[in-house]
Amino acid sequence: MYRPLSELMSVSFGPVPVLTDALAGLEGVERAYIYGSWAARYNGEPGLPPADVDVLVVGAPDADAIFDLAEEASRRLRREVNVHRVSAAAWEARTDDPFLTSVRGRPLVRLNLDLEAQ
């Protein structure tokens, strides 16, 4: 019973809705993904509960706005939120960048930032 309830709470009040809400109206954000251990658990990979939430923001949002967003999301979720920015060109390019290669090779949870769809 715990797992279904935990999954319901996570979908309803967890990182996906909190981060979607925070990022949807932020200028310069083209796309955003949750990656790392939280995305892995969300996609059914076994492991310890995530201690933090890692977010990849694709685009060119203001650095201060991203910092403030991470602080507010951390407060709301009661866990650290780490935001990494990458340009759209870097994300779309096939590169040897170890960070991007690692992120692309692991589970991702794409945040639906389309304001008209919400």
Cα distance between residue 19 and residue 74, in whole Å: 10
Topology, domain 2-116: Beta Polymerase; domain 2 (3.30.460)
What's the pTM? Answer: 0.85
β-partners of residue 56 are: 33, 84
Each residue's pLDDT expressed in tens, for the chain with a length of 118 residues: 545 554 445 444 689 999 999 999 899 999 999 999 999 999 999 999 899 999 999 999 999 999 999 999 999 999 999 999 999 999 999 888 999 999 999 999 999 998 544 4
Question: What does the block give as tokens for 108?
Answer: 């991702």
Residue with tokens 């991702």: 108
Q: How far is CA 55 from the centre of its chain?
A: 3
In angstroms and rounded to an integer, the radius of gyration of the C-alpha atoms of the chain is 14
